[in-house]
Chains A and B, each alone.
Chain A
Amino acid sequence: MLQQVLVTFLVLAAFAFSAWRLMPARRRLLTLLALDRWAAGHPALSAWRERWLKPRIIRAGGVGCDGCAANGSHAPRSR
């Protein structure tokens, strides 16, 4: 029984994670913004909003190639 529960949980988590990562950047940004609007109504969450949500929104607005192997491109950097 425990096995079934764990397996179900893991599989659902995998689906959710993949969906998030493979979502188009715009959809992800909109989701984060919707989340932000909802959290704005709950003052207790303000610390979480500032620390976790806001940087992610700014980052999502910019690049959005989250699932990619090389966010730090190896283009010749400044030496």
Chain B
Amino acid sequence: MHGSPVPLAELRRGESGVVSGLDAARMFGDSSAESAALLARLRDLGFVAGARCEIVARMWLGGDPLVVRIGGSTFALRRAEAAAVQVLRHKERPSPSAVLVAKDASAATV
């Protein structure tokens, strides 16, 4: 795991990560009642902090909509909906040397 949280919408196909939180501002640029309801629904579907998620598919031209696997279930989301989900990316396909480095570092991280 590395980096600061990115919106779920920016993960590419096959990438996975851990949800760190939901952010309404990224969805519509404001926090109207509608986005609050959508956020609540996302939470109800399992998009909560600590949940592991993976992008299964992305539609061409910008990945709208995309398919994400989370908590054992699979959902198709609009880019705007996925944008509200903040995710910490998993390191993908680590090289052997990187694995050794990560092993040393894992003592310090959770």
| A adjacent to B, CB under 8 Å | no
